[in-house]
Amino acid sequence: MHYFAGNIIVMKRVGETIRDIRESKKISQYAVAYSMGISQAAYSKIERGETEAKASHLYLIAGILKVSVYDLLPPSLANSAIDGQEYLLKPLVVRLKQYWYGIIARRRMRKYRTD
């Protein structure tokens, strides 16, 4: 996957926010990783911003931590559009929307299945 400086900054900030929320709820990295079905090492890379989290992972993490997926975005990113840096947040928002709309489309298709 190709990274640009904006994505790296975004993922580090999102990872820091995830870690802060997880630690405030006294949940271990292992517990979150186990619930997600990934290794603790892979989850740790998400928190450190060393790997780009998939939209599906962000939704899983939000569910496990019992917060909105938007709560995983640090306040500085939520306000980045005001600073004229909306390009930092756009790739993440686009991926979250694609994932969400994909779920909706699959649910609609199941309704019309004739297996």
Q: What is the CATH number of the domain that holds 66?
A: 1.10.260.40
Is this prediction's pTM over 0.85? no
What DSSP assignment string belongs to 72-103? GS-HHHHTTTTTT-GGGTHHHHHHHHHHHHHH
pLDDT value of residue 69: 81
Q: How confident is the model at residue 4 (pLDDT cuts 50, 70, 90)?
A: very low
Say whether pLDDT at 67 is over 70.
yes
**Angle ∠(46,48,90) on CA atoms, nearest 5:** 65
Closest CA to 78 of 28, 25, 31, 10: 10
Separation CA 39–CA 34 (nearest Å): 7
Count: domains in the chain: 1
Higher-scoring residue by pLDDT: 72, 109? 72
Q: Domain range for residue 105? A: 5-111
